[in-house]
Structure 1
């Protein structure tokens, strides 16, 4: 397998991750259009990531390929470093999701760090919809995503988290930080979206999220002709188990959606509906259900 990533500096490659105290994993895929279908090209996958095979789940959308990013480690741990990269070729279409939610364990003050790089060529499509992070007491996680989009491309990003104390004592996680930077093909900044929150701010009667259990953020970016209209997004939370707000993003980048859900079931229902709406707008047909 050939990696897109630059080799480490001289001398660094011979130092095992276990001796540096900074475990590292990489998940790198390139998607290419071949005729009417999308295929995986270059790939590099290392522990703790695991990749079985891609799935063509949508008979009505043969160009859309689905990949489940799996992990064999049981979650995110102290000082862990994970890096992903997705290159989507011209007119290729991919959906990358996870097999389940990801537990972030007690990091003892040394946050786990996740970085994602995305490059979409002309008329490409990527839906990156991992299941939520589950923040255990003491969990600390720093996430950064950078994307570059060519004309006609569409990008759906999902980012969600939930709080959980196995002892039921409402012990807080440590902190969570997230930054998303999106640029056009010329490098012009389209969007920078970031937040930082501590667990203490989200527990107790003064919590800004109240009794809601799952917090979700979605960014739907790209060519307006391939994005849903606001009316399509207005009914994302119709049953009272979730609330959602839709905002217009700067520089004509697309839509931002924030959601609070009563539980994981309601959060998944909103995420699946938004994915379906987004695929229908981009391809004219709704996607098949994704089994988890």
Structure 2
């Protein structure tokens, strides 16, 4: 019996190591390619060890294009990601509190409508949204990328609402006895207790906004306003030689903020998701 358990653990850990290596291989390959000479990136594509280390790829890539350095692109990405994340978390938490605690007419219907919007692919609403934002005069601004997040994100609303339902209603009643209003209960009781769910939503929101390519591609036309995700595309020019080394160097730098945020706040992801499906 002990031999079977030991064999099972060996096989289990071996499979986990193999799958881990498969998953991190693209990332390691990108970092390795960022240190190779541009012309040799695809010569020996499977090699992870550069013949020579070309750190100048990072200097060349950081210089950017037409006098616009990657510092500008990083700042643009940070503005979009941070402001959109703040807006989505504030609005989603308020809406989730309304669905979880406040009784109002048509609550079930509005909740179903909200959940149905999660099933709509972006390609279905892309053209209507563009027409609407174009009439508003928002094209080539950050408003189409940021302002809609201030009206709630369905996935975050559902996640936070499920977390709120795990909080005993007796806490609300005790707060009412102490003289708290509906907003007082929200700010003094609910918000401090749903921080894990809010942080989980914030991490996902920041990642999605930082990684978003299609939105900036549709709405932005001025290079000075490009985020990192769209600026990386400028390296690939079919009419000239692509500087692959600089492109992968900037791609490597672009994932650092995601790793830093995930590293410091990963415990909130576990806490926020693991308790969101519980009630009582």
- TM-score of the two chains, using structure 1 as the length reference: 0.25
Report which structure shows greater RCO (CA 8 Å, sep ≥6). Answer: 2
More strand by share: 1
Give the TM-score normalised by the residue count of structure 2: 0.26
* Bigger Rg over Cα: 2
